[in-house]
Amino acid sequence: MNNTNTKLNSWTLPKAVSRNPFPECSLALPLRTLMARRGYTSWSKLESFLNPPEPPDSLEHFPDLKLAVSRLTRACRNQEKIAVCGDYDADGMTSTALLLNVLKELKANPIAAIPSREKDGYGLNKSMVNRLHKEDIRLLITVDNGVSAHDAIEIANSLCMEVIITDHHKLPPKPPKALALIHPETVPLDSPYRQLAGVGITYVLAEQLSKALNQDKVMNIATDLLCIGTIADMAPLSGANRSWLIKGLKKLNQTKCKGLLALNKVSGIQGNRIGAEEIGFQIAPRINAVGRLGNPTLILDLLLEDDEINAMELARRCDLLNRQRKELCEGIEMEALALIDSDKEDLPDFILIAQSHWHQGVIGIVATRIMERYSRPTALLTRDKAGMLRSSVRGPEGFNVINALSKCSELLESFGGHQAAGGFTIRAEKIGELQTNLNKISSDWLKASNNENKTCPEVHLELREITPCILKDLEQLEPFGIGNRKPLFWSRGCSVKNKKILKGGHIKLILEQHGTEIEGIVWSRNIKNDFPSQIDIAFFIGSNNWNGVKRIQLDIKNIRPCNEGNTLLIRGKRIYKCIQTDKKTITLINETGESIAGWLNESNELILDHKFQKEKYVISLFEEALISLGIIN
């Protein structure tokens, strides 16, 4: 691996691959190089990624799916009352709206049952079951929850209420006893349905139900809601998810769902191409804000509304709640930073801050921001109505949140989550002991990881190569997200022609390289604005729409000084100085002063002295030098 030391941070540059991978592919060479580095070893594998096959028949993968479809077919034909029990986040809301819409179109009689974040907590609960039974509901379908609702489902069974569970959260060793369980962990290990979000599981059920009743047209808006929920829940974008999203995103801006069209309009993306970023940063936050601060049925009303005027009014209410959410987050963040800075000489290895007045619905967002700012696991806590302290926990890449909480389980009233995020409830008198334990766990992790903020760009690009053509090629690799991260590029030797500090501390740069100028934005608060005039940049390629004009804009993630004509290579404990004395001569110097020279021909192919031409170590070292100097991608 090719490394370069800097005082600002640690950069790990990519390893060398074939100079011309996948020549039969029409993608630009830098993107073909990128995919080769991501492990695509043959054109057939890359072609399958670019044009994924249709997912197989889901009835053959989910053991209980046929039983669930059979029961719902009967319910639709008999126009039975059905309760769809969802969750209050974007995945749960889109799942609920999707199934309600399909069931209504199929002549069933569905109602929504959504818990209150503050009163009920997460998922189906006993009080909801008792209330639904009194309303003559005898069939329940959970969406995006259910596998942990043992008590609620046990009561439902005792009341002769049938339950179909559709969920994607971790299955317990003994799932609740239900009529049917439709869950990605029940499919074969190599199934393309293995990584579905809650809305994906709901989509599978709705699709098979519509087929059973020969009513495929009822799925009109189901694919649109599938796209929103899958991306909002950050499900891995592979397998069936990728296949569905590639098709669904292309027509999302022409959705027949009046509520989504209204959300697009208030989000400022009406009429534009809608991709994963627009969903993740514009649409999903407005949906999630309702579940965090308001009554989640507002989102259901919006997504199921048929009247454009009413839909617009509901969308504006969602937008208002999102603005309130932003204000709450900014206030809590400022308060949390002030508490940290008051004792910044002794920053804990695990940041844990509790304030009883903080809003429970938004502390997870702020915990993420604090974690990213200090690169340390972070928990923010607030007091609930029962007098307990409830938390949202976020961890940097590589830190396992759920494992850390498991090691402290004897101090906690309850806890849950996954590797990157979680939450717990605790009595106030146990906070001190918990902080001590979490500090120890985090300290051990920080020492093992060297507490480095590593920047790992995947391919080098000259600024002149960043054109509308490569932007179009990038679209073929979308959608980006978990399992298919957005490519991080880097460019060497960029001159800072202009620098402007924007509101919020962000920095706008005009960069120049070999006569090509381009605009970039440094959004990160962790990059200081006193960098030199000659820099290397790590960046994402994006665009900026202003007054109807679309321009390419770089999203700069990191910056380091550029030492023109030389760099350092680190191979284990060995350090080499790499010098480019002219455009065609490369010299490597080891720590004892010994040197080896190589030359580049007109095609940038490496020419070495005869005695080194078969030395694999030397050849690979020069290849890394060419990457480090930005000579090859």
Q: What's the confidence (pLDDT) of residue 94? A: 95
- 242, with CB counted inside 10 A (0-12, 13-18, 19+), is buried
Model confidence at 309: pLDDT above 60: yes
Q: What's the confidence (pLDDT) of residue 8? A: 42
Alpha-carbon gap, residue 231 to 251, rounded angstroms:
16
Q: What's the confidence (pLDDT) of residue 9? A: 55
Give tens-digit pLDDT for 35-92: 999 999 999 999 999 999 999 999 999 999 999 999 999 999 999 999 999 988 899 9
Contacts made by residues 153-156, CB under 8 angstroms, sequence distance 24+: 153/124, 153/129, 153/177, 153/178, 155/126, 155/129, 155/130, 156/129
Report strand pairing: 585-589 vs 595-600: antiparallel
Would you say the C-alpha torsion 225, 367, 376, 419 has a positive or negative sign? negative
With pLDDT > 70 as the criterion, what percentage of the chain qualifies? 94
- pTM (2 d.p.): 0.85
Q: pLDDT band for 10, please (50, 70, 90 cuts).
A: confident
Model confidence at 299: pLDDT above 90: yes
Adjacent-strand bridge partners of 354 = 381
With pLDDT > 90 as the criterion, what percentage of the chain qualifies? 56
162-166: strand order across its sheet: 109-113, 81-85, 139-143, 162-166, 180-182
Alpha-carbon gap, residue 184 to 198, rounded angstroms:
9
Alpha-carbon gap, residue 89 to 117, rounded angstroms:
10
**Mean predicted lDDT score pLDDT of the chain:** 88
Structural domains of the chain, with CATH: 61-250 (3.90.1640.30), 254-342 (no CATH), 347-452 (3.10.310.30), 457-561 (2.40.50.460), 566-628 (no CATH)
